[in-house]
Amino acid sequence: MVVKRLKDLEALVKGREKKTLAVARGQDPHTIEAVARAVQGGFVDAIMVGEREKIEALAREKGIDPSIFEIVEEKDEATCGKKAVQLVHEGKAHIVMKGLISTIYYMKAILDKQNGLLPPGKILSHVTLVDAPRHHKLLIVSDVAVIPTPTLDQKIAMLNYCINVAHKLGIEKPKAAIIAANEKVSEKVPATVDAAIISTMARRGQIKGAIVDGPVALDIALSKESAEIKGVESPVAGDADILIFHDIETGNVFFKSVTYLGGGSIAAMVAGAKAPAILTSRSDTEDSKFYSILMAAAMA
């Protein structure tokens, strides 16, 4: 099947071999609600690392039987991250998830050279699924949360991670737009230069599994009408599956605009690690956290 909306993730994951989720400091209401929803739906099993008393009390407050979780007692915030990662190393978990833990502690556990989840030579990047009500399908977006100013090599890694996600979502030949302010290549605008290099590499077969074009302005990537009006010919015009942004500010503003102004929904995870790592904001909704779990389960 091809996943076109976040809700389609349920059908994609349902019936597959169940994966186990290790939640670092899983003791905030939205995380507990989202994890419980995923467990009760039969999508995953869950190990909550944190303070048992708080986890059980919050679960009961939300009408959830805490016995559906395995709970690993740990009061120290930083150690919660380390223990969640260790569960993956021990083969007891296949996915890690950020709960009520600082991003610094969570990422430090993942990036630890001795005991972390980053293979040598690999790059971590954030991949977001954006479900915008007015758009005809999901958008796979990178990077909005991890790499501040990606180099050319990092952009290529970001693109390859997005292509892999697209394939796992049933999109055999995703269309990827390398986003810039316009389609004209200029050395004064680094985003256009990187985009032109990446699209040339794809045409030469150095990047496989996708149709890639760039530089492409956002309106061209999302609207065939805009491309026709502007006279821009692009194989991804109006039908892009993947958007690669030049820097974290551009990507972050894009996805927050879609969610807060456009009524969109998101799911997100960190790619490049030995196991999918869910990295959502502590303020993200239960839905966002739930679909992020399903996304990670589909990738695991």
Q: What is the pLDDT of residue 281?
A: 75
- Strand segments (E) across 110-190: 125-131, 139-142, 175-179
- Of 129, 147, 175, residue with least CA distance to 287: 129
CATH for 238: 3.40.718.10
Contact present, 106 and 124 (Cβ < 8 Å)? no
- Alpha carbon 288 to chain centroid distance? 11
- In the chain, the number of structural domains is 2
- The phi, psi pair for 68, rounded to 5°, reads -75, -15
Contact present, 294 and 38 (Cβ < 8 Å)? yes
The secondary structure element, H or E, covering residue 211 is: strand 211-216
Q: Are residues 236 and 131 in the same domain?
A: yes
DSSP 254-290: HHHHHHHTT--EEEEEEESSSS-EE---TT--HHHHH
Q: Are residues 70 and 131 in the same domain?
A: no
Q: What is the pLDDT of residue 294?
A: 98
Q: Are residues 100 and 172 in the same domain?
A: no
Does any domain span residue 2? Answer: no
Q: Are residues 59 and 80 in the same domain?
A: yes
Does any domain span residue 265? Answer: no
Q: What is the pLDDT of residue 282?
A: 66
Q: Are residues 86 and 182 in the same domain?
A: no
Does any domain span residue 194? Answer: yes
Domain of 185? 125-260
CATH for 286: 3.40.50.10950
Does any domain span residue 138? Answer: yes
Q: Are residues 135 and 38 in the same domain?
A: no
Does any domain span residue 107? Answer: yes
Q: What is the pLDDT of residue 20?
A: 98
Does any domain span residue 1? Answer: no
SS3 101: coil
Q: Taking the chain (300 residues) in consecutive chunks of 10 residues, what is each chunk's mean pLDDT?
A: 96 94 94 96 97 96 96 97 97 96 94 93 95 96 95 98 98 98 94 98 97 97 96 96 97 94 95 94 84 96
Q: Are residues 141 and 204 in the same domain?
A: yes
